[in-house]
A and B are shown apart, each in its own frame.
Chain A
């Protein structure tokens, strides 16, 4: 069952088609990744899902019903570029954003303080935002995203600009939300994170959906006849070898596609026979990064 259904969304800015007939479903209780390079149309799609932009065409359905303005109250949103009122106090900021989501009163205040304690900010609740370090401001933003107990959490490039501590903190928050059965949607251009966190993904490029589905299914579909190799030594003998269909270099790993699934053992033997030191040999395994390159035929922006 899909919690959210995006159907045929389109959006143009002048002559630029930012989002072109995008459709996908977000299953209940999943971590859903919207994946693509910068400028692929991820943020525009998310903004349309949130009703920040009106789509030129297409609709978004929440459990079978067209979304309304009330949907906004059910969503916790963390935009890519995050800002807060500099002169506002930490606790006031949290309560203001919660109130805009329709939650106010003692209960929310108690919860806000609880979160601040959890994130080691309890002593700063009366500080102005501008007096906080950037890392601590990000923590306040995380709390503002989830304080009103949203059913859906939408994170746009959540890991950009985070230090390692906050990156881990956010990962914990995401996994914690998943345990509570919340639907988490995030967009990212970082394939590694998506691969580790998501159950389902939709990959978009130049405003169009390239592929969509559960990560497991996609991997088994694209992973057939595929070997992910980590090695040292000379492998030039594999060029034009009869069992090899093609070889792609992803930097840290090599993606090798054999002609027939039964030939993977033969490939391993060949490597050992040619004194190639094999560090990792993953048969029928493919990374999201490799899938991306496979479907786009282009190198992604690999940050790592």
Chain B
């Protein structure tokens, strides 16, 4: 299987791929693209849509309106000018008419929304929000506490309490917001790893599909061009397939290592100091695992793509016949992305140890949670086992397919190929 001739094939593949324009371009463009995506996302998030919001706050109680007004005027969102708030006192009956009048300005976008605080809210704190876009969480989060403050103030004013008591009551509101900010801190701590998990998932997904398709094309070309017959007069199909897969695998590994270089530098040296919320909680062992996992996965998928390439003798047929393998890459990709918002997702836990899926899911999983050692070990065993299991079959289909031309074979025929004596 592995011989001097395999090495010659590996050498040619490396020379052919490593110095090809496509390879160099992709190696440079993918990081640019990724940073571009991250940059645009950050930019969009900083440019939050709520700045310039026009809010009308209507309450039924003039005292409450006053308290709301003073609370809002103190609030940073109003001070910074990103929110413009008007206050009015109206009864429920009048409010309905007011709402009718305001409909046009809401639809025009002149008015972002109307918050109506009915009398009852003074007991149950239930307020109403009317807007073209009623599920505006950003706005709710920013105004919730301010309205709460005003309601608390009002609630205790009539109760003959000292200012101290009221301050005390308001403290409790601050206490609850402190808990929220403690949550935020946890989230910020994980932010760097979230980005990394996304990065890992995306790079794996992209690399497997990109290199796999390239491999498939190369095999189709060799078959279509009949170079393969000339090659087989010098080497065995096993040597050829092994050489091609290892050559392309090494190419992919080098590319991945180049892409991960910034991450490796960041975690292994103290030259660059990241802001606390971006600290990456992985170490070099993770990177080594990632590259090992990637290489095993790449070899597996290159074998599958090469097999599909050998079945068909033109690119179109191969493209339409490759879907079963694409699914093996895409489903784990979606599982992995879904896991980013719910790291304890049981599907992801299982997927990280299932053949094929493990290759994409496990690296992302290990960056966001502590994966027990036995799960790593199981994933490695599963992935290497899958590789060893599918290769004999893939090699057989490759060997038969590569010399079959003409009619597009049916799936049932391909199964029969496995029984051929070749």
Chain A interface (Cβ within 8 Å of chain B)? 14, 47, 50-54, 56, 69, 72-73, 75, 77, 79, 81-88, 96-97, 99-101, 144, 154
Contact = CB atoms under 8 A, between A and B. Distances in A.
Contacts of A88: 16
A72 B233 contact: yes
Interface residues of B, number: 23
B229 A79 contact: yes
A84 B225 CA distance: 7
Contacts of B221: 86
B180 to A, nearest CB: 60
A297 B234 CA distance: 39
Nearest to B237: A52
Q: Which of A47, A87, A99, A100 has most chain B Cβ within 10 Å?
A: A100
B84 interface: no
Question: Which 9 residue pairs across A and B have the least CB separation, nearest first?
Answer: A83-B225, A77-B233, A100-B234, A81-B226, A79-B229, A83-B226, A83-B227, A52-B232, A99-B8
B229 A81 contact: yes
A100 B422 contact: no
B227 A72 contact: no
B182 interface: no
B338 interface: no
Given A84-B225, A96-B12, A52 B230 contact: no
A178 to B, nearest CB: 21
B107 interface: no
Contacts of A97: 230, 234
A52 B403 contact: yes
Given A99-B8, A100-B5, A72 B226 contact: no
Contacts of B226: 79, 81-83
Given A53-B422, A54-B421, A84-B225, A101 B230 contact: no
B149 to A, nearest CB: 71
Nearest to A145: B230
Interface in B379-412: 403
A75 B235 CA distance: 12
25 contacts: A14-B416, A51-B236, A53-B403, A72-B235, A73-B234, A77-B229, A79-B226, A79-B230, A79-B233, A81-B229, A82-B230, A83-B222, A83-B224, A84-B225, A84-B227, A85-B227, A88-B16, A96-B8, A96-B12, A100-B5, A100-B8, A100-B9, A100-B234, A101-B234, A144-B230
Given A81-B229, A85-B227, A72 B422 contact: no
B415 interface: no
Contacts of A154: 233
A100 B229 contact: no
A56 B421 contact: yes
Given A83-B225, A100-B5, A100-B235, A54 B422 contact: yes
Q: Which of B16, B234, B416, B421 has most chain A Cβ within 10 Å?
A: B234
B378 interface: no
A87 to B, nearest CB: 8
Contacts of A56: 421
A52 B399 CA distance: 9
Nearest to A53: B422
B231 interface: yes
B354 to A, nearest CB: 36
B233 A75 contact: yes
Given A54-B422, A100-B5, A100-B8, A72 B230 contact: no
B422 A77 contact: no
A82 B16 CA distance: 21
B230 to A, nearest CB: 6
Contacts of A79: 226, 229-230, 233
